[in-house]
């Protein structure tokens, strides 16, 4: 196939490099239109340009994906199929290696077309996994099917210290977690102090207002019983000290068994001890008539001083599944996510993939600290990625779904036309500009309600402007004519951009402070300690 790549003067050198370096089944020719940036080309300009070129030998014309409008009028004018390629020239080799250009569209960029196809494929795989869940051994938590062997993987999102929240706040958080992808909600309470009435009130409130599948996380017998009587659909955590005390009241409720003995205060840490105590507790649960069992060997925090950490726990999960293939596994991620100073999105993604390898059916998250916020969404996406990758038999990449939030897979740089331009290098010296006589702005971010808030104080009074993005706010500021100096407008634009980024990724925003500061490794005085 002979392909003509149309571009502008600015991107022509890059596109020629791409075409020359790419050995393929395609014969590629590059032609630059008389315009600096190809994305600004109109269909009329393209038609006029192509009529000056000998086109008989070409099978396909590819234009940049950023060009506006449909290419169908161009096809009709020149008699050759015209399609939109990727938005960035650097992506053309990837496109031609993985995608038949004949399938490209005259109306939609290759990036958007392929993204839509991948999304549809991903959705189809997930829907098939859901449909097949009932055909495999499983248990149900309310209406949620928990397969003994995933996919799909279910996400439990725990609201910690529910007893400390007032009713409106508890409902707000519960609704948010459901919207973020939780399949099951869990309520956690004060460790070591029995408060069955509070447990009952919280469960009844959540079931009345939202009625989600709901679990209770407590080892205290009175709280477990109160939760089940109030309508809880699942209990966590059965252990040696409470199984006999609650068995007669919870036999029809799915229950998570853990390797713990509260009577002797024994919490298993090594893989062997975990399995030994977990098996003992499962046998006790079965003896007392509890048959809807979920096992949790418990994922320990990273421990670099003793062999009882995360890796040891993962071994226990793997060993348990080899022996008890028909019992669903649960893995709680918070012991690792909360106890490492790294962005939760990467930690949660990796842990969820490891859980999938270990055939874990339920993954539990607890968004207790600010750095673990959004863990529910992160793990929900990661669990779907695991399902898609498993079906495709590929690593979890290029799936139509990803968790690339802080970084991109590749760097794309915009090319600038520097011909005839004077070059000035900006220094880092801070310049103080005269204060805007109309007033000043204080910018803040409300993560709870999802607003950027800007408080104006000046000649026109005191006005709070709030919006979901920077553009809506500066549009309102301009409409109200609240700013009068160029330096102030530039300053405010920088701060609003930072605020929007902070809101999007759940990061603190403090006016006039950097949003990101790159961490550097500690420099040692010398490599040779001797």
pLDDT tens-place string over residues 480-493: 999 999 999 999 99
Residue 135 lies in a domain: no
The answer for residues whose C-beta is within 8 angstroms of residue 415's C-beta and 6 or more apart is 10, 11, 14
Residue 406 lies in a domain: no
What is the per-residue pLDDT across 353-401, written as a single tens digit (0 to 9) for each? Answer: 999 999 999 999 999 999 999 999 999 999 999 999 999 999 999 898 9
Q: In terms of domains, do 99 and 146 share one?
A: no
Q: Is the pLDDT of residue 412 over 80?
A: no
Quote the Cα angle for 263-267-272, to 5°. Answer: 125
- Identify the CA nearest to 351 among candidates 153, 505, 136, 133: 153
What is the per-residue pLDDT across 159-204, written as a single tens digit (0 to 9) for each? Answer: 999 999 999 999 999 999 999 999 999 999 998 899 999 999 999 9
Pairing of strands 234-238, 214-217: parallel
The residue range of the domain holding 278 is: 140-392
Residue-wise burial string across 206-237, b where 16 or more C-beta atoms lie within 10 A, e elsewhere: bbeeeebbbbbbbbbbbbbbbbbebebbbbbb
Residue 404 lies in a domain: no
**Which has more pLDDT, 115 or 158?**
158
- What is the pTM assigned to this prediction? 0.90
Q: In terms of domains, do 188 and 55 share one?
A: no
Q: In terms of domains, do 97 and 158 share one?
A: no
- Counted domains in the chain: 3
Maximum Cα–Cα distance across the chain: 89
Residue listed under structure tokens 């702005």? 441
The answer for residues whose C-beta is within 8 angstroms of residue 93's C-beta and 6 or more apart is 18, 21, 22
Q: Is the pLDDT of residue 114 over 80?
A: yes
| Three-state secondary structure of 431-495 | CCCCCCCCEEEEEEEECCCCEEEEEEEECCEEEEEEECCHHHHHHHHHHCCCCCCHHHHHHHHHH
- Identify the CA nearest to 301 among candidates 328, 323, 332, 279: 332
Q: End of a domain among 351, 375, 392?
A: 392
Q: End of a domain among 66, 92, 108?
A: 108
Domain at 268, CATH number? 3.20.20.20
**Taking the chain, what is the end-to-end CA distance rounded to the nearest angstrom?**
65
**CA gap 207, 195 in Å, rounded:** 19
What is the share, in percent, of the chain residues with pLDDT greater than 70? 98
Q: In terms of domains, do 278 and 160 share one?
A: yes
């Amino acid at each position: 196939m002979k392909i003509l790549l149309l571009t502008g003067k600015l991107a022509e050198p890059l596109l020629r490099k791409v075409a020359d370096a790419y050995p393929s089944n395609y014969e590629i020719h590059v032609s630059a239109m008389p315009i600096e940036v190809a994305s600004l080309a109109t269909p009329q300009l393209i038609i006029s340009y192509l009529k000056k070129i000998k086109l008989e030998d070409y099978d396909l014309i590819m234009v940049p994906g950023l060009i506006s409008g449909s290419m169908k009028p161009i096809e009709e004018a020149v008699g050759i199929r015209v399609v939109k390629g990727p938005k960035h020239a650097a992506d053309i080799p990837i496109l031609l290696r993985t995608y038949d250009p004949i399938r490209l569209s005259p109306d939609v960029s290759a990036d958007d077309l392929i993204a839509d196809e991948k999304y549809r494929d991903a959705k189809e795989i997930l829907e098939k996994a859901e449909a097949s869940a009932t055909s495999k051994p499983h248990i149900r938590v309310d209406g949620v099917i928990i397969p003994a062997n995933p996919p799909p993987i279910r996400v439990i999102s725990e609201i910690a210290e529910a007893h400390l929240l007032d009713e409106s706040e508890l409902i707000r958080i519960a609704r948010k977690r459901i919207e973020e992808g939780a399949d099951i909600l869990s309520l956690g309470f004060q460790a070591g102090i029995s408060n069955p009435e509070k447990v009952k009130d919280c469960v009844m409130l959540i079931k009345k207002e939202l009625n989600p599948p709901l679990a209770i996380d407590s080892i205290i017998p009175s709280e477990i019983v109160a939760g089940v009587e109030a309508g809880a659909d699942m209990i966590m955590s059965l252990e040696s000290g409470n199984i006999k005390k609650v068995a007669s009241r919870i036999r029809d409720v799915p229950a998570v068994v853990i390797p713990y003995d509260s009577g002797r205060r024994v919490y298993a840490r090594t893989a062997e001890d975990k399995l030994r105590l977990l098996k003992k507790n499962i046998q006790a649960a079965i003896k007392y008539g509890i048959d809807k069992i979920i096992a949790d060997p418990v994922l320990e925090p990273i421990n670099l001083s003793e062999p009882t950490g995360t890796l040891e726990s993962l071994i226990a999960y793997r060993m348990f599944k080899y022996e008890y293939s028909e019992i669903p596994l649960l893995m709680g991620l918070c012991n690792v996510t909360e106890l490492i100073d790294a962005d939760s999105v990467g930690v949660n993604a990796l842990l969820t993939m490891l859980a999938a390898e270990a055939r874990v059916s339920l993954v539990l998250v607890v968004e207790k600290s600010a750095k673990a916020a959004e863990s529910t969404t992160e793990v929900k996406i990661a669990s779907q990625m695991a399902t898609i990758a498993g079906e495709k038999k590929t690593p979890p990449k290029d799936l139509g779904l990803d968790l690339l939030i802080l970084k991109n897979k590749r760097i794309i740089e915009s090319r600038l036309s520097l011909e005839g331009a004077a070059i000035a290098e900006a220094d880092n010296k801070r310049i103080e500009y005269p204060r805007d006589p109309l007033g000043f702005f204080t910018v803040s971010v409300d993560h709870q309600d999802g607003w950027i808030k800007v408080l104006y104080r000046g000649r026109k009074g005191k006005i709070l402007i709030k919006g979901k993005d920077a553009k809506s706010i500066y549009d309102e500021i301009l409409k109200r004519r609240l700013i009068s100096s160029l330096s102030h407008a530039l300053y405010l634009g920088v701060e609003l951009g930072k605020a929007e980024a902070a809101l999007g990724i759940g990061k603190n925003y403090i006016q006039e402070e950097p949003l990101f500061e790159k961490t550097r490794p500690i420099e040692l005085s010398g490599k040779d300690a001797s």
